[in-house]
Chain A
Amino acid sequence: MTDGEEIRQEENIVVEVQDLTKRFGHFTAVKEVSFDIFRGEVFGLLGANGAGKTTMIKMLCGLSHPTEGRARVAGYDVVHHPERVKRSIGYMSQRFSLYEDLTVMENVEFFGGIYGMKREELKKAGAAMVRRLGLEEIKGRLIRTLPTGWKQRIAFSVAILHRPELVFLDEPTSGVDPVTRRRFWEMILATAREGYTILVTTHYMDEAEYCDRVAVMAEGEVIALDSPEQLQETHGVTSMEELFWKLTRGESMITNRDKR
């Protein structure tokens, strides 16, 4: 690798995690985790309940201090510059997204304000969002009167209103119908093509297949990290569901079924 390439590579790292560890008393929630996430990547974080995903994400958002190791998001250290980190990220989950009793534009103004956007900047970004999603007719409507598909697209657009370097999607499609779910993934991928970096957690194993790379966590450690295709090949399985079973239960799914 030439020097030039090395520099370019560095610039393209949006999330840099090195030996990141978090202990609560005697319990180690995250143990010496290291990985990088590159610009424009859709990166999936999978794991069983209690595997350390939430702790991991809290640290990356600057909400929880690592016990050891370091993490940088958009070039900012999560310990020394948590406020800068927070401004560099967007966040969306199915449970917490928009205020149902505010209109589309009121939500835009509210969240834009929270993300520290200036009035002019917010006005521009809001107008661009209305144009892109074709919201002219419904921008004055209360969120709760809109179909799920619209809510979801608007929630995602609001999360990226301030052009964050990194977008966290926490189980973004749980409880959503199949058409809406796939349309939403199209939107995520289109956004990644524009250079946004996406970090997504999900319990839908088929959704992991949309990701460029996937990290699987178990008991606080990253036990596998690669593209979904490569992971399946390496572990001799044909679906992400089988892979997840094998990695988290330490046996193949078929044997397990046979036992029963």
Chain B
Amino acid sequence: MITIREVSKSFGTTQALSGVSLEIPRGELFVLIGPDGAGKSTLFRLLVTLLLPDGGGITVKGIDVVKDFRKIRRIMGYMPGTFSLYPDLTVEENLQFYARIFGTSVQENYDLIREVYEQIAPFADRPAGKLSGGMKQKLALSCALIHRPEVLVLDEPTTGVDAASRTEFWGMLKRIQQEGITILVSTAYMDEAARGDRAGFLFNGHLLHSGTPEEIRRIYPYPLYACRSEDNYRLLETLRRDPSTAAAMLYGKTIHYSPRTKEQPVEELMTQLEASGRYGRIRYEPIPPTLEDSFAYLSTGRD
């Protein structure tokens, strides 16, 4: 459905994207993960024809985003990261406006936006600028969907949204996906990487990895243990100083600790540390890597 090939883009001396390549099949829900400034918005804006790439190319259904941008715009729905509807138009007027510029009507595609729009319908006469953050987001999503696009591109729709509302939002996206729409969502919340079919990790303009959540977990190359002691902070410092340690990082109330090799006698090390009496009782167990462990591994030393 979408082919991104060796795409680069710079702004002045800032290299926003460097040789990004990615294939997204029809009907997929793809999550683009990356910290602020990684290049997520730039990649999306190239895709929806709002920017021109310096090098490489992008096609959607075989249509080139530069040469045939008019055709592309008809099949794409785009929700930018900042609220960009008309604040002085009412909720209903905004929706009608977007339907009309795409040569359709609200009635024609209402079934597609029903679930989202019904939540803001009681405020149909309110100017869009006077809505709460959550309602603005639902209106923007309705407007991006009203022409029944084949591809929906959402730039950080969940930033600043509480955890429960985010869960609801992803549920909504899954149902939109079931209508056969290919969806790309960007986010800076690492915990959202597992919410789609596949995720790509963008860092400093490079796509470091993409794959299913399971594939991303598997790239973590070391054994991993969750350790807990009565003085985690101290234990962390000690583990870090140990030359046999590949990685040791705090993760809530536990330390995620990786020895360099599978053969290393972790039990011996922990017993020894516990016997020193400096950390109290140490509990540890092998755990599968989280997506964030993999992302941390990929980005280490690249800042």
Interface residues of A (CB under 8 A from B): 47-51, 147-149, 171, 174-180, 182, 185-186, 189-190, 193, 203-207, 209-210, 228-229, 241, 244-245, 248-249, 253, 257, 260
Contacts and interface: CB of A to CB of B under 8 A. Distances in A.
B191 A209 contact: no
B263 interface: no
A179 B252 contact: no
Nearest to A171: B160
A205 B303 contact: no
Given A176-B36, A180-B303, 11 more contacts: A51-B162, A148-B36, A176-B188, A177-B203, A177-B303, A180-B35, A182-B249, A186-B236, A204-B189, A244-B163, A245-B167
Say whether chain A's binding surface is mostly helix, strand, loop, or mixed: helix
A213 to B, nearest CB: 12
B102 interface: no
B37 A49 contact: no
A91 B165 CA distance: 26
Interface of B: 34-38, 132-134, 159-167, 171, 174-175, 188-191, 203, 233, 236, 249-253, 292, 295-296, 299-300, 303
A27 to B, nearest CB: 13
A209 B303 contact: no
Contacts of A206: 191, 251-252, 292
A203 B162 contact: yes
A204 B233 contact: no
30 contacts: A47-B162, A50-B132, A51-B162, A148-B36, A148-B303, A174-B160, A176-B35, A177-B203, A177-B299, A178-B190, A178-B292, A182-B250, A189-B233, A189-B250, A203-B162, A203-B166, A203-B189, A206-B251, A206-B292, A209-B252, A210-B253, A241-B191, A244-B163, A245-B163, A245-B164, A245-B167, A248-B164, A249-B164, A260-B171, A260-B175
Contacts of A248: 162, 164
B251 A193 contact: no
B140 to A, nearest CB: 16
A149 B300 CA distance: 12
Contact of A179 (B165, B188, B300): B300
B303 A244 contact: no
B178 to A, nearest CB: 10
Nearest to A51: B162
B255 to A, nearest CB: 10
A216 to B, nearest CB: 11
A176 B159 CA distance: 12
Contacts of A47: 162
Nearest to A185: B250
A148 B236 CA distance: 23
A48 B188 contact: no
B126 to A, nearest CB: 16
